[in-house]
Chains A and B, each alone.
Chain A
Amino acid sequence: MTAVFVYTDDMLHKLFHKLNTGVLIALTAVSYLALAFVVYFIFREALPLFSQVSVWDFLTGTRWMPVDYGSGTAFGIFNFIAASVIVSLLAMIFASVLGLGAAVFLSCAASEKIRRVIYPFIDLLAGVPSVIYGFIGIVVLLKIFLKVGVHTGSCVLAASILLSVMLLPFLVSSCSETMLKMKEHYLPGARAMGVDYWYSVATIVLPSSFKNILLTMMLAIGRAMGETMAVMMVIGNANLFPTLLGKSETIASVIALEMGTAVADSPHYHALYAAGLVLMLLVFLINTGIAFLRNRLIRKEA
């Protein structure tokens, strides 16, 4: 009798094992399929545009006139690309300076008690919806810029500052976690030699966290590129080459602002999809760069 039970038990295990693997494969396939569909549809909706506008003109042109008001249409998104890249880069730089300071404080200066109080606040900051950040941007940031003398207050700098605040939680928590780990692992050795605390933080914790910090910064750019709402609310949305105190418009905000009014299957509609495709490729490029860099850094370490 027992032998039979053992046998069925074993069968059950095998069945569950097979089911399990099957379910997991199916779930994985679904997520890949979703990605494939996104890519497919964006390509399908974007490509018709290029029968009217050359890829080169689309990427390097600075005139954006999606509807013909007598002077003809034009689809050049160079300024939008530039704005997306510059706003994200600036935001990343601001956030890194601030975030690194905060991370060093949290990991090396703050006591366990302070850390336990501050970490939840950082997570809370990450949970604020971007439209709320946009509000704060309009109510606080733009007012300040207006007072300083920027016309209407909307500008690239305002957008970058706002975006940098949105990137902070991610940067701070990721960097301080890395630094904390490095500190706990490596600092006792230096301290046991009588080396000053802050000297060892500067010469061991920071250099050993450097790779992770770099990767975090690049991930942050990727995130910043796609951010739409808050940026749109404070950047002014004018097709101009981005300058610090001038208005501009990012790819994401063009799409968000104009998609609702674009006639389906019109060149305008296809152009917006094409702009989305460019944004997607940009982020994809950055992420590939990160993956490449990470692999190289890890291989160097191993």
Chain B
Amino acid sequence: MKLEVKDLSVFYGEKQALENITTGIPEHMITAVVGPSGCGKSTFLRGLNGLLREEKGVTLKGEILLDGENCSSLSPDDLRHKIGLVFQTPAPFPFSIKKNMIYGAKYYGLRNQKALDRMVEEKLTQAGLFDEVKDDLNKNALKLSGGQQQRLCIARALTVDPEVLLLDEPCSALDVKSSAAIESLLLSLKSSLTMVVVTHNLAQARRIADKVIFLYNGKLIEEGTADQVFDSPKDPITKDFLAGVFG
């Protein structure tokens, strides 16, 4: 297991958002977190990269291990260097595509121009964006289409070589074609990366996920391989959810 979550509970003030979640995120696989809105999917994700620890009025219990090492022993910045996050709404920096791509690497000390150029090409190629933008890398990133912007944001997250990439409903603001591009991108990244995708799109989870975690009301109801959870759910709540009784 790349990430191990042990007895994770999260409280917003008095209100409990997650209850004793214990699960694992397998390495080089895509784990999908599904469940109805408000079930704690996003909270779970933001717990993984330590964003929650910085919010006021939030209490965290339990522990998260990255490669067997307790995450709370890492500084928040170091943790986020290793565990990247891509947001629901793509928000590239208001600079050129190239500047977006070298921002993180520069911060971590890569200054050599040739190395930077190589890195930009490599990561954009990984994100399946290079062929579309190679002729105008100096174009303002905000001029790209929504789907291209999201792929740029994924490429940007890759530039600092994270070990785990968290994606918070990465396709919910995109059209079908762009979503398909992102899905195949995620599948191609599996060889080098561990990913956790929050999604409310069950068909999407089924297409890309190796492991599925089903959350409901802050509790982990069921987990397993995609086939197990989708084809033969054990818990009645999971069955109802998959059947569309609620959502």
Contact = CB atoms under 8 A, between A and B. Distances in A.
Contact of A186 (B81, B85, B93, B160): B93
Nearest to A112: B56
Interface in A185-231: 185-186, 188-196, 199, 203-204, 207-208
Of listed A190, A191, A192, A199, residue having the most chain B CB within 10 A: A192
A194 B159 CA distance: 12
B13 to A, nearest CB: 16
Contacts, number: 58
Of listed B77, B87, B159, residue having the most chain A CB within 10 A: B77
A301 B142 contact: yes
Contact of A208 (B80, B84, B94, B159): B94
A203 B87 contact: no
A133 B156 CA distance: 51
Contacts of B104: 190, 193, 195
Size category of the B interface is 20 to 34
Contact of B77 (A186, A188, A194): A194
Interface in B124-163: 140, 142, 153, 156-157, 159-160
B103 A190 contact: yes
Of listed B82, B91, B153, residue having the most chain A CB within 10 A: B91
Nearest to B89: A185
A193 B93 contact: no
B80 A191 contact: yes
Given A192-B87, A193-B104, A301-B140, A186 B94 contact: yes
23 contacts: A182-B94, A188-B87, A189-B87, A189-B91, A189-B92, A189-B93, A189-B153, A191-B51, A192-B85, A193-B80, A193-B81, A193-B104, A193-B107, A193-B157, A193-B160, A194-B77, A194-B78, A194-B79, A194-B82, A195-B103, A196-B107, A208-B94, A301-B140
